[in-house]
Structure 1
Amino acid sequence: MTKPPEASPGTNQLDGFTEQLPFSLDAFQIRACTALEHGHGVLVCAPTGAGKTVVGEFAVHLALAAGRKCFYTTPIKALSNQKHNDLVQRYGADRIGLLTGDQNINGDAPVVVMTTEVLRNMLYANSPALQGLSHVVMDEVHFLADRMRGAVWEEVILHLSEDVRLVSLSATVSNAEEFGGWIQTVRGDTTVVVDEHRPVPLWQHMMVGKRVFDLFEGAETTTDRTRILVDPDLLRHIAHRREADRLSDWQPRGRGRPGHDGGRGRPGHRLGSGGRPTLYRPPSRPDVIGVLDHEGLLPAITFVFSRAGCDAAVKQCLRSSLRLTNDEERTRIAEVIDRRCADLDDADLVVLGYYEWREGLLRGLAAHHAGLLPVFRHTVEELFTAGLVKAVFATETLALGINMPARTVVLERLVKFNGEQHAPLTPGEYTQLTGRAGRRGIDVEGHAVVLWQPDVEPADVAGLASTRTFPLRSSFAPSYNMTINLAHQMGPEQAHRLLERSFAQFQADRSVVGLVRGVSRGERMMDEIAAELGGLDAPILGYARLRATISDRERSQSRASRLQRRQAANDALAGLRRGDIITIGQGRRGGLAVVLEPAGDRDDPRPLVLTEDRWAGRISSTDFSGSSARVGSMNLPKRVEHRQPRVRRDVAAALRSAAAGLRVPTQRPKRGQAGQDREHDVDPELAALRDQLRAHPAHHLTDREDRVRVAERLLRIERDNADIQKKVNAATNSLARTFDRIVLLLVERGFIDEVDGGDLKVTADGLLLARIYSESDLLVAECLRSGAWNGLDAAELAGVLSSVVFESRGDTPGAASFVEGATPAMRRAITQTRQSWSEIRADEQRHRLSTSREPDTGFVTAIYRWVTTGDLSASLSASDASGSGSPLSAGDFVRWCRQVLDLLDQVRNTAPTPALRTAAKRAIEGIRRGVVAVDAG
């Protein structure tokens, strides 16, 4: 393996690097940097705030010292911007570039900060910028577990040239050695450096009412384990609280009793677990912040797992007398706000909630979440980092790498909505969130505070805080774009080999080790049993197998007979008409019946009938043991009100009269007939197998049954082993099989041609797909080549494209049949887009592939209005956050505009017609203005 060029002999780059730092390196940083200087790749796993990025910065130093290039990648644009600013301050703007999709600053610089997707795209395009690359830093590499975007990290790791040194920086994960082992397998020499020591110690607390308690008293070590002890003062105080609630539970019967007010309880009461009223009221947010301020625990980040909750918390504090800043701090805050927001249009400030947001900042309070306007969010980050904002209410997205450490982290609840349901926080999530507590170089210690609720047990919090099991799991799976690029760059065999080298397959293969061990254990047991019977070719084993074959055949025939009878009954029921007389053959409703309403559903026919015993209701094929054919018919009144007893009595009497002259077949076979039927049903193969059994040498053994029981044990183990082997086969090469299915679909659709020898040739349409990087890549490519978006002007194109990228926050996608304000051209294009998606989904189901996401029109009108008018208020009012009329926040509006911009940029570069490329270019210009253009970084 080729090593990167080293600096001049005799120089020690690490010493030169550390001399420039205002602090001394920790042991883990020295270990990682030394390995890097010796030409190794490194994986560094350490807690948030431990200083992992120093190792990435040393890679930058090495590349510059050697006259080579370094790419510094991050998962999100905000982190890229932050890192770009840090490196510019150290090395100067001429040596540092930035590529995020939104921005292209000095892209030819020797050091370029970029999002990981940008590097992936460069690798697939074989970009000239890769020449001279010696180091790649992958910050937040644990992001490869992300369900939506995690595959990008593995693609980069697998595709990078072998002579590039990889620096992987990860939060603490419990399977770091496994992850490092995989990187070493695919990248060569890799040093794994794990450090679980927090540079700033973290103290765990619970706040009960307005009192803050330590969570832990200490640890008790026994011979076999260490048990964490919960603070007895905390337990005692909570017990007193609960006792007070229990005593308050008794209330006189009558007015005011719980349940007489819609379940809310009396004023001043809250419903506790089990619906009981409780006097306990958790402290208000201003009270919590006030307590933290009094205890010297500010600045603090309070995690509220809802954007609306974050905004409501700030409003709650603004309604109180809470003020956390002095006059000097307010002056500095105002200067930052004015500088950051200078480019905002005055007409938009009210719509953006600017004045209330500003007032919060001036009092040292702010919200932080993805729904904030980016310029607002970045202002909050700058002020909090400078120590001017003292209390931030944030969603968990803040925990993802944004450099906003605090002295204290507060968790209001230990449950969050995961997109599908409310679920308890995992130990990994708890550690990631509380990892923000403790500012290195500022705080002696950090603090995590959980607010107590009546349904929270201190022991559960202690378990979360002391558990260190959060493994990294791969989310890698072939996409259409990945498949087409692999097919273009390498043949199917090479593509298979690359997929087999992925971390996903690495983990899958390791997961089958235990299964394979189980197969081996089963084989040993089979050998022991076979030896007891006289060997694997012992006659009794053949006899037992023959018996098992007969039993399987009998069950299969019985099942088939039942299905045939059920189908025959269904067919007969579906053919019944009003007035037909039938015989119900079993159950309490057995006897004659007349059809009042025929069945509507042919797959599960359930006609409405009235029996001779006056019962009326719907019947199905399960009500029949024999034939359900009609035995006659009768006339019925035009309307039969079968719910009225008198009507049921009269119709039942008429039914008995009409059936008097009919020959009604009996439903039960005569004695001996059932056996004759069974004999008649036996197929020739089953009869031959029974003859073989009777003629088998083991059939007449005196101890036959005892020996058969032993043989059947062997056969059970054999069946279990076969089932386990199926699981092993399913896990092994599963990615390669998915790749092959995608290839078949793309061959059918003309994106790939199969040529002689099994090779794959990417067509012109396939090359178009290879340049589309989107979750809906195949749909975009199909719409481009079919001309579905031809003839649209700039605003119309932006609107239609938004349906491909937008995703409503609720359960229901935006209605596709009608889009308010859509032009005829837009309606046509949306209809064609949805038609293409339907056809793709049908193909995916046929090939057993995950189905593509449905187009969502919830943003179409909003972005159309934005491009045509630039009116923020009108555009926000036209947006739909959940398919139910709820408008988007300004931050979400900007975020979705930028997603559409990304796709428009790809369409501008790949569209097959000049007119469509021009429309895309104009749409980009129409979107990138006003709030969308402000603070685009």
Structure 2
Amino acid sequence: MPNTARIIRTPSEVSIDTRGPQLEAFAAELSFPLDPFQVQSCVALENGHGVLVCAPTGAGKTVVGEFAVHLALAAGTKCFYTTPIKALSNQKFADLTARYGRGSVGLLTGDQSINPDAPVVVMTTEVLRNMLYASSTALRGLAFVVMDEVHFLADRFRGAVWEEVILHLPEDVRLVSLSATVSNAEEFGAWMETVRGNTTIVVDETRPIPLWQHILVGKRMFDLFDTKAQAGRPNAGVVVDQELVRHLKQKRALERSGSWEQSGRSGGRGRSNPRQNFRPVSRPDVIAKLDDEGLLPAITFIFSRAGCDAALNQCLRSRLELTTPEQVEEISSVIAKHTAELPKADLDVLGYWEWRDALERGLAAHHAGMLPAFRHTVEELFVKGLVRAVFATETLALGINMPARTVVLERLVKYNGETHADLTPGEYTQLTGRAGRRGIDVEGHAVVLWHPDLDATEVAGLASTRTYPLRSSFRPGYNMTINLIDRMGADDSRALLERSFAQFQADKSVVGAVRGIDRNVRDLKQLREELGGDGSEYLEYAQLRERIRARERLLAQQGRTDTRGAAVAALTVLRRGDVIAIPAGRRSGLAVVLESDGDTGDPRPLVLTEDKWAGRISAADFPSPAEALGRMRLPKHVDHRTARARKDLASALRSTGITAPSGRRRKNNSPAADDRELATLRRALRSHPCHTWPNRDQLARVGERYSRLARETETMRQKVSATTNSLARTFDRILALLGERGYIAAGAVTEDGRRLGRIYSESDLLVSECLRQGLWSGLAPEELAAVASSVVFESRQEGGYPMVTGPTSAVRHALTGTLRVWGELRSDEVRHKLPLTRDPDLGFVAAIYNWARGEPLVDALIAAGDRGKPLSAGDFVRWCRQVIDLLDQLHNTAEDAQIRGAAAKAVRAIRRGVVAVDAA
């Protein structure tokens, strides 16, 4: 279907269409004039279009969503307002209730159900997805769906839900999609047009509040950009402020000079590293500097919870106070409102008094490890201007209404779940987008703290790049597959998957490859003609040469693999005290093994060489397998980090009398030397008639081009084949596995399948199998909660819990069965080439069991701790609520009445104390 989406970019296209009567009425109720992009979006909506609105954080996108609410109420229809997280749903519910009254607005978040039959219902996106799969009667009369933060569909864990909703909504429902600024808005809009029909895309890249970029070097604040130079030279691009450049050059020169002087005083032979002498400005001094410059309130983003808490504690140890006595009184009343229901016995373990002291001084941390009641208190106080400095993780940047005058970034590197990676331009834009409060500030400020590894030019590149591409994370899963089959059958389900944004992007990615294949096919035809055409003798000869080269490449690769395998095996069996010879490189010569490594994949034993170098070696250091030439006695404890220990050991190694073998030439054991197939091919080549042609070499060059192009074309065809219909192939593999396990029979969903279709969990099939096999039957409420936690909880520690432990024999038996079923399921997934269900985690079993039995909070936190450190209260509450969510599903889906009853009792037992306060 051709893309007919109407794309409007503001402010370059500021011509405003004639406003309809509903927009006039809506605008008249507002206390501010509408911006051009808001008018364009609302006009399109009133004219019957769906809209995709992409605009910066704080630009006022939600006004368009509120206009959809206005249209629904005016027409007597319904509007669902969806958000990615419960905190945003609660916030939006409060906003809309204040405007339209309690009778008109409802809330559905899984935890809460308030006035669900209202004409306007705020909900999390998962709730709407579940309603669509259940064909809920609440969908009758639905005219509008607002999808706030729709760019969340890129989230690799929960993003698929957004696409499911977009694909399943009835055609007559108008979709209002609100997104942060993304660089591929047209691509996303083109897909929306394809699957939803008439869609207007409105893109506004203008921040409502100008943002100034700075770098804080020591206690001096510099502008990042030379705005005068850029204004004078429009085509100059990004120009870093010259005063900043000069200052950094002088600072580095002084540091180099100082490091030489220090080295001379200490008698060292080399130059010390200036980075080792660098001392960052303390957090209290940074906040005090911002206060002096009139740049508070500020959010400092620190990419770890522990880092946020440490920064707050550093400020509490200083004399920093940012509040007046009158503000302290107001802060106390807000604290009381949010924490009055907290059990007094739990206040000490929650760190209440330190948290309160910080707030009364205008300081706070904000991260997911905090108790929700504490987090929401911080949010309210910050919005009121009573908390002036917050240290937060990046989760704050997702939609929560906490704008500041200034955003501070201490580092431009964060841990992404797998490794420490540089911030992307999109992440930088998202974080600094919090700076500048509309209606309060005339400008916002982003401040990056300088350190020796920071390059001002790289910061300028981050700050000036507006690339934030939206990538789909959609893929079929077990629950989704069951619901699709139950609603529309296999063929229509495949067709729906092929309409997803994920497949849309995948298909688009192969367009260039398909064009390349077509071009190569034409070139191959021309080269074949030069070689004599199809069936020519030389074409046959050229193909024979290519078969020889392919065989030689295969044998060479096999030889390298065999050599590495032998080297790995040899390193694996080395033991402490073995003396070996490193054959080549800077470390060549004798070495003694200080620490063995039995890793069969990539062993890296620790060695000390006769040249006093200590470090780890790998198979890459050995073109032939290492072997023990002898042994030497080692002290019980060897501290290889100290120069004295290395010197003494190296001396002992040299005095053993063991010598490295001479570099005699090894016999060539290349696989190609004895390969019969290769020998046969070479004989066939020499006996071929073309082998004696006078123009053979000239034709050979053409033949090599032909062979190279043919290989390249085949590789491109394989890529296209793997990408095209990739989701449908995954869907078919899931169908096969579910069919083997009896969830689907003869193309229809069985009763077991329908129960699976009502389980919404990352481990949905594992849960369903445990229920079906009766592994969780007969458990007491607290035991069921403990076992259910194993498929919900994820430890922050690596390595998990290999031993099956539990407070009762029934829990241990159920967990053993759960792990057995998981192992069987994983084997099936490997066989069907499907994504693997994550392994159960037993780290929360004891904690939730104790809590469900009524034990004190402190005992539960310690039971869930890691390496002696108790679990944070916020994490404890979050995991408790996730266990509650799964138990609610068990209560509604389990065939066993005993499990249903135990699940309901467990929910009531868990929902107490801190878990019941300020549910969000």
Structure 1 residue identity aligned to 2:412: L
Deviations 1:150-186 (A, max 9, x none): 1111111111111110110000010000000111111
In the alignment, which of 243, 248, 256 is matched to residue 238 of structure 1? 248
Per-residue CA shift, 1:614-646, capped at 9, x if unaligned? xxxxx9x9989xxxxxxxxxxxxxxx99879xx
Name the SS of the counterpart of 1:169 in structure 2: strand
1:317-352 CA-to-partner distances (Å, cap 9, x unmatched) read 122121111121111111111111111111111111
1:437 is aligned to 435
Aligned residue type for 1:143: F
1:118 is aligned to 127
How far apart, CA to CA, are the structure 2 residues paired with 1:250 and 1:143?
51
Q: TM-score, normalised by structure 1?
A: 0.82
- The reply to whether residue 884 of structure 1 matches residue 871 of structure 2 is no
Map of 1:728 onto structure 2: 720
Rate the CA distance shift 1:303–1:543 in 2: closer, same or farther, 3 A: same
C-alpha contact 2:781 2:906 (8 A) present in aligned 1: yes
Aligned-residue offset at 1:92: 0.5
Is 1:832 the counterpart of 2:817? The answer is yes
Secondary structure class of the residue paired with 1:484: helix
Matched to 2:89, the amino acid is: S
Residue in structure 2 matched with residue 344 of structure 1 by the alignment:
342
Q: Aligned partners of 2:796, 2:132: CA distance in 1, in Å?
A: 33
Counterparts in 2 of 1:566 and 1:810: CA distance versus 1, 3 Å = closer
Instruction: Check the 8 A contact 1:808/1:814 in 2, yes or no.
Output: no
CA–CA distance in structure 2, aligned partners of residues 306 and 95 of structure 1? 41
In structure 2, what is the equivalent of residue 768 of structure 1?
Answer: 755
**1:935 to 2:918 alignment:** yes
User: Which residue, 62, 79, 84 being the options, matches 1:75?
Assistant: 84
CA gap 1:560/1:183 in 2 versus in 1, 3 angstroms: closer
The letter of the residue matching 2:810 is: A
Residue number in structure 1 paired with 2:508:
510
Pair 908,227 (structure 1): closer, same or farther in 2 beyond 3 Å: same
Alpha-carbon distance in structure 2 between the residues aligned to 1:235 and 1:318: 35
Partner of 1:147, secondary structure, is coil
Aligned 1:237-316 pairs, distance under 5 A: 237-251=247-261, 272-273=274-275, 275=276, 277-278=277-278, 281-316=279-314
Does the C-alpha gap of structure 1 residues 94 and 681 become closer, same or farther in structure 2, counting only changes over 3 Å?
closer
**SS state at 1:42 partner:** strand
- State the Cα distance separating 1:832 from its structure 2 match: 0.7
Structure 1: stretches of 5+ with no match in the other structure: 2-9, 266-270, 572-599, 605-618, 625-639, 645-666
Superposed displacement of residue 700, structure 1: 5.3
Question: What is the match of residue 10 of structure 2?
Answer: none
Label 1:283 to 1:531 Cα distance change in 2 as closer, same or farther (>3 A).
same
- Give the alignment of 1:495-644 within 5 angstroms: 495-549=493-547, 552=550
1:904 aligns with 2:914: no
Query: Do 1:553 and 1:686's aligned partners in 2 also have CA atoms closer than 8 Å?
Result: no
Distance in 1 (alpha carbons) for counterparts of 2:262 and 2:321: 44
Matches within 5 A, 1:378-397: 378-397=376-395
The CA distance in 2 between the partners of 1:330 and 1:382, in whole Å, is 14
- The 3 A distance-change label for structure 1 pair 253 and 693 is closer
Verify the 8 A CA contact 2:563 2:623 in the aligned structure 1.
Answer: no
Say if 1:686 and 1:465 are closer, same or farther in 2 by CA, change over 3 A.
Answer: same
Q: How does 1:472-487 map to 2 (within 5 A)?
A: 472-487=470-485
- Give the aligned partner of residue 750 of structure 1: 742
Secondary structure of the structure 1 residue equivalent to 2:56 = coil
Measured in 2, the distance between the counterparts of 1:910 and 1:319 equals 53
Amino acid at match of 1:833: T
The residue number in structure 2 matching 1:654 is none
Query: Take 1:476 and 1:214, find their aligned partners in 2: how far apart are those partners?
Result: 42
- Alignment check: 8 A CA contact 1:221 1:227 kept: no
Structure-1 separation of matches of 2:33 and 2:365: 35
Q: Report the counterpart of residue 60 of structure 1 in structure 2.
A: 69
**Aligned counterparts of 2:85 and 2:631: Cα–Cα separation in 1:** 66
Shifted more, 536-545 versus 420-429: the winner is 536-545
Quote the Cα distance in structure 1 between the aligned partners of 2:835 and 2:755: 22
Q: How many equivalent pairs are there? A: 823
8 Å CA contact 1:907, 1:920 repeated in 2: yes
Question: Match for residue 210 of structure 2?
Answer: 201
**Distance of aligned partners of 1:528 and 1:94 in 2 relative to their CA distance in 1, 3 Å threshold:** same
Q: How does 1:116-195 map to 2 (within 5 A)?
A: 116-195=125-204
- 1:211 shift after superposition: 1.7
In structure 2, do the counterparts of structure 1 residues 563 and 179 end up closer, same or farther at CA, with 3 Å as the change threshold? closer
Q: CA deviation at 1:465?
A: 0.5
Q: CA deviation at 1:397?
A: 0.5
Secondary structure in 2 aligned to 1:779? Answer: helix
Structure 1 residue 220: Cα displacement: 3.9
Q: Give the C-alpha shift of residue 699 in structure 1.
A: 5.1
Change (3 A) 1:846 1:258: farther
**Displacement of 1:62 after TM fit?**
0.8
Map residues 653-802 of structure 1 onto 2, 5 A cutoff.
Answer: 682=676, 698=690, 701-753=693-745, 755=746, 760-802=747-789
2:896 equivalent among 901, 905, 913? 913
Structure 1 position 22 matched with structure 2 position 31: yes
Unaligned runs of 5+ residues in structure 2 are 2-18, 570-597, 603-618, 634-665
C-alpha distance 257-389 of structure 1, shift in aligned 2 (>3 A):
farther
| CA distance in 1: counterparts of 2:672 and 2:867, whole angstroms | 60
Cα pair distance change 1:464/1:642, threshold 3 Å? closer
* Per-residue Cα deviation, 1:893-934 (whole angstroms, up to 9, x for no partner): 000100101101001111111111111001000100100000
- Contact 1:206 1:215 survives alignment (8 Å): yes
Counterpart selection for 1:811 from 763, 780, 798: 798
Cα deviation, 1:101-133, whole Å, max 9, x if unaligned, reads: 000111111111000011111111111111111
Q: 1:908 to 1:256 in 2, by over 3 A?
A: farther
Q: Deviations over 1:34-87 (max 9, x none)?
A: 001111110000000000000000111111111111110000000000000000
Give the Cα–Cα distance (whole angstroms) in 2 for the partners of residues 907 and 287 of structure 1: 53
Could you say if the C-alpha distance between residues 706 and 166 of structure 1 is closer, same or farther in structure 2, counting changes exceeding 3 Å?
A: same
Distance between the aligned counterparts of 2:351 and 2:305, measured in 1? 15
| 1:204 alignment partner, SS class | strand
**By how many angstroms is 1:226 displaced?**
3.6
Q: Does the residue aligned with 1:194 lie in a helix, a strand or coil?
A: strand
Indicate the larger mover: 434-443 or 761-770.
Answer: 761-770
CA distance in 2, matches of 1:88, 1:713: 71
Q: Tell me if structure 2 keeps the 8 A contact 1:272–1:455.
A: no
Q: 1:226 to 1:144 in 2, by over 3 A?
A: farther
The alignment status of 1:847 with 2:832, answered yes or no, reads yes
Residue type of the alignment partner of 1:85:
A
Percent identity reads: 62
CA distance in structure 2 between the aligned counterparts of 1:559 and 1:474, rounded to whole angstroms:
36
Matches of 1:457 and 1:101, distance apart in 2: 47
Task: Report the CA distance shift for 1:601/1:720 in structure 2 as closer, same or farther (over 3 A).
Answer: closer
1:871 to 829, 848, 856: 856
Secondary structure at the aligned position of 2:707 is classed as: helix
1:217 alignment partner, one of 226, 229, 244: 226
Q: Shift of the alpha carbon at 1:542?
A: 2.5
State the distance in 2 between where 1:252 and 1:407 align: 41
Q: For the pair shown, which has the larger CA radius of gyration, 1 or 2?
A: 1
CA distance in 1, matches of 2:811, 2:778: 10
2:99 — aligned with what? 90
SS in structure 2 of the partner of residue 491 of structure 1: helix
Amino acid at match of 2:300: T
What amino acid sits opposite 1:455 in the alignment?
A: D
Q: Deviation at 1:538?
A: 3.4
Give the Å deviation of 1:254: 9.1
2:363 is aligned with what amino acid? L
Question: Which whole-Å CA distance do the structure 2 matches of 1:58 and 1:131 have between them?
Answer: 20
